[in-house]
């Protein structure tokens, strides 16, 4: 299920700047450099973050997302007995609506337990989305899908390493309806009204120096999901995804990142659940296949400790169709370090894909 590309926590400066001029000005000033910063606000408000962010995903149209995010724990995270940093846990309640009639609401929690050796990520929600899928060459399907997804991800750290091992369960009650006359060849009624239930293993390596806007480190994950009737799934299929985001500081003022994302799928995959090329500047589900391969690089230049510029470019291939499809992107933007100890940067990106331009509000990292 594609989600709104725009981050669900962003533009904090727009929300908090008016308060900075008021009686609680010290809550929005970093005593280290005197710059605008929300670390002290988060600490004094027990981590509650009111959010409002524009949605600019081309597949959904323009819209807005809003809600509350709660950051648990100390500024910048805590330290485990073995010296490893424990990221803050996060709870969130978010809603969104867009110009093409799509809307949704979600609630979830990302928790770190037992000195960071256990990681739990779970949530549930409801979406009503109007989308266009391109499941094979020359096929274009406009459809509406209503879904109630539930996800739970539980992993355990291998002692003395950054490796976590566990599993993930996914359930989604979905009801789809075509928004054009007739069904394209290969689309059957059972694809349009199904319950999906899948389970599979997760292997994750995470050595990043922060979960929001890392400067160095690697986050790599290999995960598989198997949807079967014995789990309560109406469709039987499988998906495997291997992805990594790596970050390196090449100089005191230059940070480089590399993203690789490979997906495979097989058997009776619903047309709207097939992998697609995910790059800024390209609508979700525009280039689909039973396999996708994506690579993207991003460089960040820090002009000051707070202000930065970014440039990015990527390339993707959607295979497993009669004629593989390729797509590219390129663009740039800016970042502001709005929470120094939490290591949170916010900004705006402008991207160009093969067909059009798009822009995105970024909270943390665009690959998060």
Q: Please provide the DSSP assignment of 105-144 as one string.
A: EEEEEEEEETTTTEEEEEEEEEEEEEEEE--STT--EEEE
**Roughly how many angstroms between the first and final C-alpha of the chain, as a whole number?**
17
Structural domain includes residue 4 = no
Structural domain includes residue 89 = yes
* Measured distance CA(100)–CA(349) in Å, rounded: 22
**pLDDT tens string 255-266:** 999 999 999 999
**CATH number of the domain that residue 338 is part of:** 2.40.160.50
Instruction: For residue 70, give every residue at least 6 positions away whose Cβ sits within 8 Å of its Cβ, in sequence order, or none.
Output: 46, 47, 48, 49, 90, 91, 92
Q: Which of 71, 298, 352 is nearest to 360 (CA)?
A: 352
* Measured distance CA(148)–CA(311) in Å, rounded: 36
More confident call, 138 vs 85: 85
Structural domain includes residue 3 = no
Structural domain includes residue 7 = no
Paired tokens of 190: 């059972």
Structural domain includes residue 2 = no
Structural domain includes residue 210 = yes
For residue 314, the enclosing domain spans 12-363
Paired tokens of 2: 């594609």
* Measured distance CA(319)–CA(11) in Å, rounded: 37
Q: How many domains does the chain have?
A: 1
327, 352 in Cβ contact below 8 A?
no
pTM to 2 decimals? 0.88
Structural domain includes residue 94 = yes
Lowest mean pLDDT among 171-185, 194-208, 222-236, 327-341: 171-185
Structural domain includes residue 337 = yes
pLDDT band at 239 (very low <50, low <70, confident <90, very high): very high
Instruction: For residue 182, give every residue at least 6 positions away whose Cβ sits within 8 Å of its Cβ, in sequence order, or none.
Output: none
Q: Mean pLDDT, to the nearest integer, of 95-110?
A: 97
- Please check the confidence at residue 267 and state whether its pLDDT lies above 50: yes
**pLDDT tens string 103-161:** 999 999 999 888 889 999 999 999 999 999 988 766 788 999 999 999 999 999 998 89
């Amino acid at each position: 299920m594609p989600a709104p590309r725009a981050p669900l926590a962003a533009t904090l400066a727009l929300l908090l700047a008016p308060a900075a001029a008021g009686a609680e000005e010290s809550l929005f000033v970093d005593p280290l450099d005197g710059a605008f910063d929300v670390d002290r606000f988060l600490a004094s408000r027990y981590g509650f973050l009111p959010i409002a962010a524009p949605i600019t995903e081309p597949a959904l149209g323009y819209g807005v997302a809003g809600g509350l995010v709660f950051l648990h724990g100390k500024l910048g995270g805590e330290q485990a007995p073995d010296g490893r940093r424990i990221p803050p846990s996060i709870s969130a309640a978010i809603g969104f609506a867009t110009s093409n009639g799509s809307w949704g609401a979600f609630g979830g929690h990302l928790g770190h337990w037992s000195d960071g050796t256990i990681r739990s990520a779970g949530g549930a929600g409801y979406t009503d989305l109007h989308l266009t899928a391109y499941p094979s060459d020359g096929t274009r399907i406009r459809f509406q899908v209503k879904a109630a997804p539930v996800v739970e991800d539980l992993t355990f750290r291998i002692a003395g390493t950054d490796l976590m091992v566990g599993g993930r369960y996914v359930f989604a009650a979905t009801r789809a309806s075509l928004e054009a006359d007739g069904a394209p060849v290969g689309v059957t009624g059972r694809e349009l009204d199904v319950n999906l239930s899948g389970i599979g293993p997760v292997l994750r390596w995470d050595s990043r120096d922060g979960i929001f806007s890392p400067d160095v480190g690697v986050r790599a994950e290999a995960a598989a999901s198997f949807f079967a009737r014995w789990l309560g799934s109406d469709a039987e299929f499988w998906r495997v995804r291997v992805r990594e985001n790596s970050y390196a500081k090449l100089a005191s003022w230059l940070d480089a990142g590399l993203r690789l994302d490979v997906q495979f799928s097989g058997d009776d995959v619903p047309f709207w659940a097939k992998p697609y090329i995910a790059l800024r500047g390209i609508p979700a589900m525009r280039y689909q296949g039973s396999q996708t391969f994506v690579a993207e690089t991003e460089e960040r230049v820090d002009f000051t400790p707070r202000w930065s510029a970014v440039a990015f470019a990527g390339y993707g291939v959607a295979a497993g169709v009669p004629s593989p499809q390729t797509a590219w992107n390129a663009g740039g933007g800016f970042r502001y370090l709005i929470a120094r100890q939490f290591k949170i940067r916010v900004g705006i990106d402008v991207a160009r894909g093969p067909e059009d331009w798009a822009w995105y509000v970024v909270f943390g990292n665009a690959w998060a």
